[in-house]
Structure 1
Amino acid sequence: MTAIAFDTLKFTKHLTQAGASRELAEATAEAFKEAAGEAEIATKGDLSQLEQTSKSDLSQLEQNIKTEFTRMNGEIRLIKWMLTLLLAGVMSLVFKSFLA
């Protein structure tokens, strides 16, 4: 972030030409200079950098989500097979009890 460029001499001249005393004009100019120096203004470059960082972060997050979904799909497939085998075992025991 960059600070605002502020011309205190020009500001003071404008105030004195408008009828303000020199002391008041200088004090006001100094106060405005300090306030402008403390303010942080985002430049186009700052916004562009933030945009690129955000895009990069979102892309990485999207890749992480895809990886996690792929892992979860594999686990779900494994659980389906395990439940199928368990059901087949239970069904074989039920049939065996009817046939015996």
Structure 2
Amino acid sequence: MTALTFDTHEFVKTLERKGFTSDQAEGINDALKNALTVAEVATKTDLREMEYRMTIKLGSLIAAAIAIVATLHKIL
């Protein structure tokens, strides 16, 4: 997965400008950093790559199924 960049200093300053105390802003920042560290966030690029891999795998499965059916048809 792709790492996301996040300006924590600017986040804290924004919270302080909106009326949060420095301690509150730092606490919210720490909680958000922990949540983002634990979460696995998929980007659009990640999703496109996964879609491509799934398309290739599905195509391979369909080709294999056709080959099996054709072989069985010849045998029977």
Alignment TM class, shorter chain as reference = 0.7 to 0.9
Give, in whole Å, the separation in 2 of the partners of 1:26 and 1:2: 25
Give, in whole Å, the separation in 1 of the partners of 2:15 and 2:52: 43
Give, in whole Å, the separation in 2 of the partners of 1:51 and 1:16: 42
The higher-RCO structure (CA 8 Å, 6+ apart) is 2
What's 2:31 paired with?
31
> Structure 1 length normalisation: TM-score?
0.65
Deviation for aligned residue 1:73 = 0.7
1:7 paired to 2:25: no
**1:37–1:4: structure 2 CA closer, same or farther, 3 Å change rule?**
farther
How many equivalent residue pairs?
A: 76
For structure 2, the 5+ residue unaligned runs are none
Deviation for aligned residue 1:33 = 1.5
Computing the radius of gyration over CA atoms, which structure comes out larger, 1 or 2? Answer: 1
> Contact 1:16–1:22 (CA<8 Å) still a contact in 2?
yes
Alignment identity in percent? 33
Q: How does 1:1-100 map to 2 (within 5 A)?
A: 1-76=1-76
Give, in whole Å, the separation in 2 of the partners of 1:43 and 1:19: 32
- Normalized per residue, the structure richer in helix is 1
